[in-house]
Amino acid sequence: MSSPEMVDYIRTMVRGDHEANDRVEARLDQLGWDGFPTLLGAVFYFAVNRRFDEQTSPGEIMRFVADIRAAVPAGAPEIDANAAETLIRAAVDPDVETAIDPQMAGRIQGLVILAILGNHAIADDDLEALLADAVALANRV
């Protein structure tokens, strides 16, 4: 079950409010992160479906992933391009099979969410609606 702190963590991450994000992260370190991977996956699903659909070409997804990988700061953990492309395709096509290491999936999901929703690419009201939808989905899983 996702908590309000987990939602705040994602909200502050997307908005680039690093100070608030650090505070929420410290609070979650005390409370626990149980349920966070499910919530992150739900936000990822809704974010990807804002940007891509079943008609999106593999080349467009490959370029998107290449752009994300190029923007990862030096010293940050790398993400696997094939895994990222597979996760994105799986979010728009439920028939796509995934067998990706959970830590890698989490890194990919976080970077994709930032790439699609970050830099004020989504209005506050739309972000709140997306987060509410993600909470509802995560709580059903």
Distance CA 14, CA 74 (A): 20
Please report the pLDDT score of residue 94 as a whole number.
Answer: 86
Please determine, for residue 6, whether its predicted confidence score (pLDDT) is greater than 90.
yes
> Which has the higher per-residue pLDDT, 93 or 2?
93
pLDDT in tens, 8-51: 999 999 999 999 999 999 999 999 999 999 999 999 999 999 99
pLDDT in tens, 71-115: 988 888 889 999 999 999 999 998 898 889 999 999 999 999 999
Distance CA 78, CA 70 (A): 10
Distance CA 84, CA 8 (A): 25
Please report the pLDDT score of residue 39 as a whole number.
Answer: 97
Distances (CA, A) of 8 to 27, 53, 69: 11, 27, 26
Please report the pLDDT score of residue 75 as a whole number.
Answer: 82
